[in-house]
Amino acid sequence: MKGEAHGLDASHAIFNKPFKVELTWIDLKTPKHYSRYPEGAEMGETIKAWRVHRELRRKDYGLVSGGYGFEDTPDCEFISGGNNSKGPNSVALGRQGNFFLWGFCAPPMDMTEEARTVFLNTLVYMRGFDGKRAFARRTAPSRRWAFVYAGYLDDERLQKYGTRQFSKALLDEAKGSGATMKELLAANEAYLFRAARHVSNGPSTFSSGYFAVDADAKALGIANRDPAILERCVTELEQGEKSERALILLQRYTDQELLYARDWRVWLDANKDHLYFTDTGGYKFKLR
């Protein structure tokens, strides 16, 4: 990563407390490779950016973390992207639990004065996370990656890898076209999940899984990340309606292996106000 931040949340505490920083904005030429990402295609020729450092005294580059789905767990916050070789949504400044990624590599003398002040604010901000933990792991790619992989289908060099990222049903319907695949994904985004390649209904995995449309969730008409799907499935179990599908969905999207309606009702009533859905945590509702 180079020396410019973009896509930043200027209202965040690190830009405002205790020292208010008047950010100087520049127009940064949009990195060419950003266009391979869905968000990048809409960015235009330049993006609004904030300079963290200028030319370094010694050659160095910063680093970024994966941005898709980064904030789908409550221990994470995205603060800023940066001018990087990966993608426009990557995390240059972000926090998970007690860990803060300051992806820029410049030592203080190479930072702009504004960046030095933001760094001091970051020290103050982070003091508030003493004793917190980073608990979430990345066990599956966010569904946003599916749209990137769809573009691979039209790229001869990446086609083989891209093809491995989708279910046979999606590939058959797309007929090898990346554009058609993107349309299919957009139409079915609410029902996308990461299927495991080898274990039926098992936990999805980052490297060996593939994106599929959950026909069961789609038949219900409720997004797999909408908590309403849990209530509907428990109700169906209680009423003995389509209980096989209901049980499959409940077990697919939670970490529970309960079998009986009364047990699911007890679990859901006790936990429904504490649930969040995470793609990156394996396409599951988890307890905060």
Partner 1 sequence: MSHRILSVLLLGLVALSPAQAKLDLSVLYAGDPGPRTAEWLTFLRAHVSAANAIDRGKLTSATAKDADVVIVDAETPYKESGIKIPRGAKLTRDFTRPTILMGAAGGSTLGALDIKLDWL
Q: Which of 92, 72, 93 is nearest to 13 (CA)?
A: 93
CA terminus-to-terminus distance, the chain: 33
Query: Is residue 29 classed as helix, strand or coil in its secondary structure?
Result: strand
Q: How far is the CB of 279 from partner 1 (least distance, A)?
A: 11
Name the residue nearer to partner 1 (CB basis): 104 or 149: 104
Residue 99 interacts with partner 1 (CB under 8 A): yes or no: yes
DSSP state at residue 264:
H
Considering the complex, state which of residue 119 and residue 267 has its C-beta at the smaller distance from partner 1. 119
Are the CB atoms for 129 and 98 separated by under 8 Å?
A: yes
Query: Which residues, numbered 205-264, are part of the site for partner 1 (CB under 8 A)?
Result: none
Taking CB under 8 A as the criterion, the residue among 33, 133, 197, 262 binding partner 1 is 133
Looking at the Cβ atoms of 89 and 188, the one nearer to partner 1 is 89
Distance in Å, CB of 118 to partner 1, minimum:
10
> Which lies closer to partner 1 via its Cβ, residue 11 or residue 200?
11
Q: List CB contacts of 12: < 8 A, sequence separation 6 or more.
A: 79
What is the token pair recorded at 83?
Answer: 């001018």
Which pair of tokens denotes residue 146?
């599916």
Q: Does 64 bind partner 1 (CB under 8 A)?
A: yes
**Structure tokens given for 86:** 């990966």
Please select the residue that binds partner 1; options are 83, 122, 204, 254, rule is CB under 8 A.
Answer: 122
User: Can residue 203 be called a binding residue for partner 1 (CB under 8 A)?
Assistant: no
Under rule CB under 8 A, residue 116 binds partner 1: yes
Please identify, among the stretches 136-144, 152-160, 196-204, 251-259, the one whose residues bind partner 1 according to the rule CB under 8 A. Answer: 136-144
Exposure string of 94-114, with b = 16+ CB inside 10 Å and e = fewer, is bbbbeebbbbbbbeeebbbeb
Instruction: Report the alpha-carbon distance of residue 7 to residue 4 in Å, rounded.
Output: 10
Binding site for partner 1 (CB under 8 A): 17-20, 56, 58-60, 62-66, 70, 73, 75-76, 86, 90-91, 94, 96-105, 107-109, 116-117, 120, 122-124, 126-138, 280
